Structure 1
Amino acid sequence: MEAFDLKRMLLDEFPVLFLGEVALRASFAYLAVFAFLKISGRRGVRQLSLFEVVVILTLGSAAGDVSFYDDVPLLPIVMVFITLLVLYRATTYAMERSPRFGAWMEGKPMVIIRDGQYDLPTLEATNISDDEFFMELRQQGVEHLGQVRLGILEVNGDVSLYFFDSDETRHGLSVLPPSERVVVETVHQNGLYACCRCGFVQSLDYGQGGPCPRCERKRWSMATDRPRAR
């Protein structure tokens, strides 16, 4: 084998007309996945449950095989799609009949923010990146946790937020990027500081720090009570 052989890299031993067959196979796979989504009643990817993501990934694998491999016939792929559709219908039917099974398959909404602070049991039970979660909050107009009365982590990964009225806004942990907030272990001026892990707010004097009484973490950021812009 010769390295960087353009003929092998571009088409190998296949005839040029095989490109037309690839186009036909890719079109078939595209229409099959589209038909599955239409029949299943899905309108968008953000509505997919964990089970549905698994189904779509399996469909994608089958679609990729039939698109590129000349020795993969079409009818077995049709059977794969039919089987997955039957499994999908059976699973959704079982989820509707059994709330316990449905909760096991999709999970339940969880309170992640309560009264301007993280809900610790939920925080410890979920693998959430602070940066990614803060980005989600910023996209919904949140500057700090003290603006949020209740935050619910939905089963599809979205965050539903319920806000305090402007005159009820509390001091809270800033969710701005690191360049816009200072994080310290020992404070350099008197004031209210929020724990960078759980959002607990307490008054600290110059030179103080130490573990948070709520979660025992040792990183603090100056708390803010700026009302939410409307």
Structure 2
Amino acid sequence: MNELFQLSAPWWVFVLRATAIYVMVMVLVRVSGKRAVGQFTPFDLVLLILIGNAVQNGINGGDNSLTGAALMATTLIALNYGVALATARSRHAEKLVEGEPVVLARDGRVFAHVLRRELVSDGDFAEALRMNNVEDVADVRLALLETNGHITVIARRDD
């Protein structure tokens, strides 16, 4: 029964491991782009499961104790809370963690190179137009790829 709670390393090792893995995964998710996060596909689910499996031993270092699990879970939740707090209070932190919206189209002109760079397919862009009741690209005043991966389309008004 004692082995359920006995740590295989000092407590701070678990905090350090969890912090390092959290930062690494956050950087990888950030680098992967907005569309990868905003448009969750079955492939993304498989990737998420595999990432969780891949980093598991990096976090726990082979420790299977309940105390270690509690330390790591608490650390990850605290880190997540800290990041949320920082992004809510600092525009610089928000920009660093979440990025900024990207202009995909303006005044009827689609920026194809931006679509490619941001991994937005023509089909996804066309779907965003349809979802916003815009029939023709010429009717687009502004189309933005938001930081959450969704595409916001603002149509031109007929005055």
Residues 133 and 75 of structure 1: is their aligned pair in 2 closer, same or farther, counting only changes over 3 Å?
Answer: farther
How far off is 1:79 after superposition?
2.1
Q: Return the structure number with greater helix share.
A: 2
Determine the structure 1 residue equivalent to 2:134: 142
Q: Where does the alignment leave 5 or more consecutive residues of structure 1 unmatched?
A: 1-44, 47-55, 66-70, 168-230
1:96–1:102 contact (8 Å) kept in structure 2: yes
Determine the structure 1 residue equivalent to 2:145: 153
How far off is 1:123 after superposition?
3.6
Higher gyration radius (CA): 1
Question: Are 1:82 and 2:78 an aligned pair?
Answer: no
Hey, what's the Cα distance between the residues in 2 that align with 1:104 and 1:57? 25
Residues 152 and 93 of structure 1: is their aligned pair in 2 closer, same or farther, counting only changes over 3 Å?
Answer: same
The aligned runs of 1:43-192 (5 Å cut-off) are 61=53, 72-119=64-111, 122-123=114-115, 125-166=117-158
How far off is 1:84 after superposition?
0.6
Give per-residue Cα distances to partners, 1:46-72, cap 9 Å, x unaligned.
6xxxxxxxxx8799659x99xxxxx94
Secondary structure (helix, strand or coil) at the match of 2:130 reads helix
How far off is 1:147 after superposition?
1.9
Residues 157 and 90 of structure 1: is their aligned pair in 2 closer, same or farther, counting only changes over 3 Å?
Answer: same
Give the count of matched residue pairs.
108
Residues 121 and 101 of structure 1: is their aligned pair in 2 closer, same or farther, counting only changes over 3 Å?
Answer: farther
Residues 130 and 93 of structure 1: is their aligned pair in 2 closer, same or farther, counting only changes over 3 Å?
Answer: same
Q: CA RMSD in A?
A: 3.6
Hey, what's the Cα distance between the residues in 2 that align with 1:151 and 1:58? 34
Residues 94 and 165 of structure 1: is their aligned pair in 2 closer, same or farther, counting only changes over 3 Å?
Answer: closer
Hey, what's the Cα distance between the residues in 1 that align with 2:49 and 2:101? 24
1:59–1:81 contact (8 Å) kept in structure 2: no
Hey, what's the Cα distance between the residues in 2 that align with 1:114 and 1:128? 16
How far off is 1:121 after superposition?
6.5
2:107–2:140 contact (8 Å) kept in structure 1: yes
How far off is 1:108 after superposition?
0.5
Give per-residue Cα distances to partners, 1:19-43, cap 9 Å, x unaligned.
xxxxxxxxxxxxxxxxxxxxxxxxx
TM-score normalized with structure 2 length: 0.52
